[in-house]
Structures are given as structure tokens and as C-alpha cells.
Amino acid sequence: MSDSSEVIQTQPEVKPLERAKDFHVYKYNSTNPPIPYTEADVTKVWQDEPWDANLPQPGFLTDLVLTTRGIETPTKFSIWSGLFAISTILKRDAYLNWGFKPLYPNMYVILVAPPRMCAKSTVIDICEDIFLGLDDLLKSVDLKLAFRKKLNLHHSKITPEAINDLLSPEYASEEGEKIERGSEVSFIVSELTTFLGKQKYNVGLIDNLTKLYDSRDIDDEMTRGGGKSIFKNIYVTLFGGTTPDSFKNSIPEEAFGGGFMSRVIVIKQDTPTRYFPTPQYVPGAPTIPELTQRLAWIAQNSFGGYQLSREAYIEYSKWYRQFKDNLVGNPNGNALARMDTNLLKLAVLIRAQRYERGNTITLNDFTDALKLLTDAYGEIGDFMKEVSSNQWESMQIQIKRILEHFKKGTQKQLWRRFAAAGIPEALLEIQIQQLLKTGQLSRSVQSDGEIIYEYNEIKEDSYAT
């Protein structure tokens, strides 16, 4: 006789699949793929950003960028929103052939910017709007595919125990065939603090998210009642927005080691990149329903194992050797530890977004992925210090940010900015003297006695230092 503590939660009743009663007509297929939009198709209402040099090859990502050009969302926030959308819809159906087991393209992405500065919530909402019509579209094509690709989206605050319920595998039947959807959930939270809660209460949740990221084939978790929850074919994605201060208050100190934070890709923007008093529609750009159609094509045509082309593999091997060498003694080594696997996941997503069938990741795909990820990791050292519990390091980064935006001006103007930010005078004097010695800050005196400060930015290799 088995003990009740060993009871496994039973599977839900298997129900037959049903076609949607109201769905849009899916207009693409494998032989009729979408054609990427170009700037020639739209009316330009925006100013280009320097970051636009990182744009990948035309595809779903550049289509989404054109749709969001009329709002104050920076280009890089739009790109990473699109990457999250593709990561979420591919699920475990697409993966990189990677040694002894597949590398699945799930991602945890967090957009970080000061409040009301870069329209974080707006682009997160657009991403979810694209998902809304996806189920009906796929049901109009293939009921089995629609069941496999049905999304389990979650937005609100959650406890570690409640995650167990969200991850229960689901089953259905079609023409006598049993179909299974694994333990899958996508967390979409416009304010990460609301989702995670305070540091002292969320260690268990952070631990769960860290463990789930690794997409195990099977796992279990003890329930409060003493039984077990069984997880199968795990696939979890996370997309959130927050401010630097909120991030600091939500992420426990333990997460800054090689655990949770090494699995998260932080996309940070400190200043606006464009200004629109009211959001604008870009004439000629793809609509949200059109983007849903295009994401449905990716869902239908991205299956199986992906592999690097010979040229891409050679380039990756060169980068990988340098990357591993640079981790030795690197103070940011924990945060950078999974940059290599994130790069390969990203390469799969870049390949899938191009509206072209096939599973070979080209050199251009790899190069696009490397540009995006190098940019994302570029501020990882400063960001870790900024959200650190060490007040000295946090203040140092705050002073640097103020100087980057200030550029050049009088001492009175600069000191007013520091005072508004609450920088203590004693700490400010020490930091200013250090910056003058290193040449990052210069000071001159005009004929009228006015003191002028000028900030000289020094670029550093983001993962080699």
C-alpha cells in the first residue's frame, strides 16, 4: 500500500479539440510567406537612433520596430519585445542541436528605464496584443498545432506554490489521438516589482524561476499537502519592465550570483530616444493583427533542430575562446556566465524571425545575434553596481549617469543636478577628484572666474574588463 504523501496529482480529463467559432482568416502558408516591410512602405514620422545600427536582417523584428516607431519606446526595447514573442511561441518545438540534449530558446527579458521615460509598459502591452488573436488564427489552420501553440500567459503576483498549478501539463484528443502540451507558462508583467514583491519575501519565487529556466524534460516539486507536482517538458519565459530602484528592491542579494541574474537579459535605457506628446500610428506600417498573422507563420514553420552553418560555427568558436578567457578574474563573471548559451538561443530566434523556412543559422544570423547581445551586456557591470546594496557603488554609478547626460556646463549647473539627485557632498567631492585624475572629467576656469566641467566618456569592452 502506498503512502498518501507519494500520491501524484492526476492528469486532467482529456477533452476533444474544437474549432474556434470566430477567427480571423490566416492568409499565409509555407509556400506564401510574409514579405518584410521596409521604410519605403511607410511614412517616416520619427528620427533615427544611433542604436539602429544594431537592427537585424529584415523580418518580424524589423516589422515590429516599424509599428512602434510612432511611440516613445526605444528601438532596442521593441527588438527585445519581438524576441520574447518569438521565444514564447516557438516553445520546445524549435531548438539548437547542442551536444547531448537540445538547447531550447526560452528567455527571461527585463526592460529597465526610469519611470515614464521610455514607454516600457506600452511595448509590453503591444507584445501581448499580438498574442491575442494567435489561437484563433492557428485553429483555422490546424487544430493540433493550435493546441500545441496555445499560450499560458500570467500577469499578476504569484507565489512559489501557485507556479505548480500553472505548470500542470494539459491534454486533448483529435481524431482519437492524444495530444500533450507540457509544463509551460509565460510571465508578462509590465511592472516587475508587482510580480516579484519585496526581496525578503520572494527568495523562493526567484529560486523557482531559476530552476524552471533550464527547461528540464521532467521535474517534480513537493506540495504543501505532502504530495508531488510532476512537471513535464518544461518551458518558461519571462518578460517584464521596471525601474532601477524597483529592481534593487525586488531582487534579493542571492540572485546576483551565478543563479537568477545570469539567466536574465537586462535591457537598459536611461534617457528617451524620441519624443511624441501623443502616440502616433506610422502610416503604412504593419497593424497589430498583421503582426499576429506574421507571428503565426513563424509558429507554423519553425520546427526541429537548428544548427550553425560552418562559417557561423567558426565565428562562434573564435568568440567563445575569447569569452571564456575573459571570464577569468572578471568581477562581472557571474552575470556573464551564460552569455554563450544566451547567444546561441538568440541566434535561433534571429534565424526564425526571417520568414524563411530552413534550420541553418547563417553567419549573418550569428552576427546579428552577437551585436544585440553584446549591446545588452555592455552595461552589465555598471548596472550590477547601480542595483547593488553597496551605497558607495550605487552612488558612483548615479554620478556617472548624471555626468553622461550633463556633458558640459558650469559648476553651478552641475552641482544643482547632483543636489536634486540627493548625492552627499562628501561623496561627490571624492568621486569628482577621481574622475579628474583619470581624465573622464576635465575642469577649466573662464576669464570671468566661472568654473566649467566637461565629461569625457571612456568606452570599455563590456565583457573583457
Per-residue model confidence as pLDDT tens digits over 14-42: 556 555 444 468 899 888 999 999 999 99
Asked if residue 64 has pLDDT above 80, the reply is yes
- The residue among 72, 49, 66, 84 whose CA lies nearest residue 119 is 72
Residue identified by cell 561627490 is 428
Asked if residue 298 has pLDDT above 50, the reply is yes
- Bridge partners, 110 (sequence order): 240, 266
Q: What is the pTM of this model?
A: 0.81
For strands 15-16 and 264-268, give the pairing.
unpaired
3-state secondary structure 288-343: HHHHHHHHHHHHHHCCEEEEECHHHHHHHHHHHHHHHHHHCCCCCHHHHCCHHHHH
For the chain, what are the domain ranges? Answer: 33-384, 390-455
CA dist 314 and 161 (Å) reads: 45
- Rounded to the nearest integer, the mean pLDDT of the chain is 84
DSSP 11: P
Superfamily of the domain at 33-384: P-loop containing nucleotide triphosphate hydrolases (3.40.50.300)
Cell digits for 383? 548596472
State pLDDT tens for residues 408-448: 888 888 888 777 766 766 567 667 777 777 788 888 888 88
Task: State residue 22's pLDDT score.
Answer: 45
Least confident range of 151-165, 222-236, 286-300, 351-365: 222-236
- In CATH, the architecture of 390-455 is Orthogonal Bundle (1.10)
State pLDDT tens for residues 336-367: 888 999 999 999 999 999 999 999 999 999 99
Instruction: Identify whether the C-beta of residue 64 lies closer than 8 Å to the C-beta of residue 298.
Output: no
Q: Give the residue with greater pLDDT, 460 vs 408.
A: 408
State pLDDT tens for residues 226-268: 567 789 999 999 999 988 878 777 776 666 656 888 899 999 9
Task: State residue 202's pLDDT score.
Answer: 61
Task: State residue 385's pLDDT score.
Answer: 61
Task: State residue 459's pLDDT score.
Answer: 52
Least confident range of 44-48, 53-57, 188-192, 311-315: 188-192
pLDDT band at 388 (very low <50, low <70, confident <90, very high): low
